[in-house]
Amino acid sequence: MSSSSRQSKIAATSPKVTLLDRDQSILAFNERVFDWAHRKDVPLLERLRYLCIVSSNLDEFFEVRAEPHLVACQRKDDKGLFSVASFNRLSQTAHALVKRQYALYNDELMPALEAQGIKIVSHGDRNAAQRRWVRQYFEREVKPLLLPVGLDPSHPFPEVANKSLNFIVRLGGRDAFGRENEIAIVKVPRVLPRMIRMPDKVSGQRNYFVSLSSVIRGNLAELFPGRDVGQFSQFRVTRHSDLAVDEEDVKNLRTALRHGLQHRHYGQAVRLEVSAGCSVHLSDFLLKQFELPEGALYRVPGPVNLVRLTQLIDLLDAPMLCFPTYQSCYPAQLSPGVSFFEKLRTGDVVLHQPFESFDAVLGFLREAVNDPQVLAIKQTIYRTGSDSELMDLLREAVRRGKEVTVVVELKARFDEEANINWSEMLESIGAQVLYGVVGLKTHAKMMLITRREGKQLKRYAHLSTGNYNPRTARLYTDWSHLTADPLLTADVENIFVHLASHSRLPKLNRVLLAPFYLHSKLVEKINDLAQVAASGGEARVVAKMNALTDENIIYALIRAGQMGVKIDLIVRGACMLPAQLPGLTDNIRVRSVIGRFLEHSRVFYFRRNGLEELYLSSADWMNRNMMRRVELAWPVTDAVLRQRIIDEDLIAYLHDGVDAWDLLPDGSYARVEPGTRRAAHGAQAALMGRYHGQDDAGRD
C-alpha cells in the first residue's frame, strides 16, 4: 500500500466513538482524590487534608465550570452541550460526592481524631467552663467585628462575597421602630480565624478546638437584643469567578484586570451551601435572593466550608498523624559549589521535582544574578506566588545593572492580583515587563541567560513543565531542563523576541510552539505512527499529562489505535477519550495516578520501528493549550537523559500497583488492586525511595 493510500485509509476511518463528558470527568477525578481520604494506610491528618483538597477543587469547579450549565437550566434549554439535563447530571454527581464527604467527616475522621485527643467541641458538648471561655472570646475578639443587618426597604439584601461565611437569622418580635422585619444577615469577617484552640485551663491540656461558626452560633442572641432568635443557618454562596476581559477593546490590560478583580467576588451565584438544619423558609428565601434553582442548594451536616479545616491541621503538632517529612535531595547531576555554566558546557541537566530540589533552579538564577559576565536574563512568569525568592533575585539582577526582561501572564487564573503586583514592582525598578500576546495566555515556562564568554555571547536556558513557584515545586511532580544546546537556546531567544515584538516567528530548530505548530505537529506524529502500524511496523505512543480534552488529538489517537498503534495515556485529571471500547479503542489504555504529590509533568513519547522521540512540555492536550496559549514542547535528545525520563515518569507509572486507576469503557475508573507481592509499588513512593536510597520512603 502506498503512503498516500495509507493516509487516505486513515483519514477515511471514522472513529464512531462518543466522547466522555468533560465536567463529569473532572468530578470523577475528585472522586479519585477523595479516595485518599478513605484510605486507612494514609495518616489521619493527611486524610483530613485530602478531604479539604476535594472541597477546594469543588469550589474551583463551580467557580469556573458551572455557569453555562446553570444558565441553560434557568432558560429551560433542553438541547445542546449545556442544558437542563446537563445541569441535573452535574448537580446529581456533585451532591453525591458532597454527601460522601460529610459522611466520612462525621462518621470516620472526627471520631478517629477524637480517639487521638483532637476534638472540635460543638456548642452542645461544651461544659460550663468552656461556654464561659467561648462567650468571653466572642465578646473580646468577634462581636466588635460583626454588624448584623436587618432587612427592610432601606436595608436590602446585602452583597454577599464569593465563598464568604454568613448567617441568616429569622427574628421574632418587633424592632426598635415597632416593625416586624424578620430576616437579618450577619456577615463574618474573613480576618477572623475559622478554628480557635481552647486554652489548657478549659481543655484539660487536650487538643480541643472550637469553630468560629460555632462561637457565633452560640451567641447569636447577643447580636439582637430585644428580639427572639428563631430559625438560623450558616450559608455560603459560590459565584462564577473566571475573569472575562475583552483584550481587543482595552488600552491597558493590567488596569482592566485590576478593575475586574474588584468585581470577581460578586459574579453570578452558582451554588448555595447551608447547614443541614436550615429551614425550608430560609433556604427558599436565599435561593430567591441568589436566583438559583433547587438543584444548586447543598445542605451540609457540618462546616459549610470544609476547606477551612486545613487551619486545624496547621494548628496541631502531631507528626505521627502526618506523612513523614520528605526532603528533596540535591540533583544527582549537579555538584554543590560547581558552576552551573561549567556543568552545562559538558551537557544538559534534567531535574525531577520534587524528588530533586527546586533549589537548584534558584541556584542557577542566583549564579546568573551574581555573575558579572551575565548580561541579560529573560523569564516568563505564570504562577510564582505572592512571596517569592525568585522574584527577589530578578529584582537584585536589575539592581546590579543586568538587562532583565520578564513576560508576566496577568491572566493566570486566581493568581492575577499577585502577578499584577509583581509586574508593577519590576517595572518600577527598571525591568522590562511584557504581557505576552493579546488573546493568548503565556503558559510556557522558560528562562534565558545571556553570558559573555571571551569574545562571544553564549546562551543558557531553563525549560520546565511546571511553574516558577518554590512552594508548589515541593508538592508537584515536574521536570526542569537546563541546557546550553545552541539550537534549543536559539529557539528560546527567538520566542522571547516574538513575544516582545510580535514579529513573524522564524522557523524553530527544536521547539514546537503553540498556537502555531504544536497542535498540528502532534496530530501529524500520531498520524505518521498510524501509517507505520498500517504497514506492519511497530508504533507506540506513551503520553503523560494533566488533561486530555482536545477532540482533534483524541480522534487522531483513536484512528491510530484502530490502525494498530499501541497507546498508553497517563492522564491525571479530565479525559474525554473512552479507552478499551471493544472494536473501537482496544489498543488504547488510560490510567490516572493520584499520589502524595500532584502529578503535573507533561511527557510525550513516540516510537516507530525502534526510533524514539521524547518531548517535555508545558502543555496539556487541551484545545485551550493548543489554540489560546503560548506553550512549548521540546525534545530531550540526550539518550541517557531520555531513558531516565522514560524509566521514572512513564514505565514507573504504567506499572504502578498501588496509586493508579484504570479508565473503563463506560467512563468510570477502577483503582488497581494493590498486589500482595513485594513487587507491587506506588510510583511516587518508589521514586522517593530511589532518590534517598530506601525501598519505601514516605509511606506508613
Asked if residue 59 lies in contact with residue 162, where contact means CB atoms within 8 angstroms, the answer is no
**Amino acid letter for position 177:** F
Q: Which of 196, 183, 194, 185 is nearest to 161 (CA)?
A: 185
Residue ranges of alpha helices (H) inside 13-117 are 22-38, 44-65, 67-74, 84-104, 110-115
Query: For residue 115, with 0-12 CB atoms within 10 Å meaning exposed, 13-18 middle and 19 or more buried, which class applies?
Result: exposed
Integer Cα distance of 240 and 266 in angstroms: 8
For the record, the C-alpha cell of 77 comes out as 434549554
What are the backbone angles phi and psi of residue 461, rounded to the nearest 5°? -135, 155
- Rounded to whole angstroms, what are the CA distances from 115 to 40, 153, 289? 15, 51, 42
**Amino acid letter for position 199:** P
Asked if residue 194 lies in contact with residue 211, where contact means CB atoms within 8 angstroms, the answer is yes
Q: Which of 481, 485, 418 is nearest to 444 (CA)?
A: 481
Integer Cα distance of 142 and 470 in angstroms: 35
Neighbours of 503 (CB within 10 A): 10
Q: Which of 49, 58, 50 is nearest to 98 (CA)?
A: 58
Beta strands in 558-649 (DSSP E): 566-571, 588-593, 598-599, 602-608, 611-617, 629-635
3-class DSSP state for residue 416? helix
* Gyration radius of the chain over CA positions: 28
Q: What is the dihedral of CA 419, 421, 423, 426, to 10 degrees?
A: -130
Query: For residue 196, with 0-12 CB atoms within 10 Å meaning exposed, 13-18 middle and 19 or more buried, which class applies?
Result: buried
**Amino acid letter for position 35:** D
Q: How many residues does the chain have?
A: 700
Residue ranges of alpha helices (H) inside 383-430 are 389-399, 416-428
3-class DSSP state for residue 541? strand
Integer Cα distance of 142 and 135 in angstroms: 10
Integer Cα distance of 655 and 674 in angstroms: 11
Which residues does 362 contact at the CB level (< 8 Å), separation at least 6?
Answer: 389, 390, 393, 470
Query: H-helix or E-strand containing 495?
Result: helix 486-501
**Residues labelled catalytic:** 443
Provide the angle, in degrees to the nearest 10, between the axes of the packed helices 67-74 and 44-65.
50
Asked if residue 529 lies in contact with residue 555, where contact means CB atoms within 8 angstroms, the answer is no
Asked if residue 578 lies in contact with residue 17, where contact means CB atoms within 8 angstroms, the answer is yes
Q: What does the DSSP 8-state code read for residue 294?
A: G
Integer Cα distance of 537 and 558 in angstroms: 18
* CA atoms lying within 13 Å on the CB side of residue 268: 18
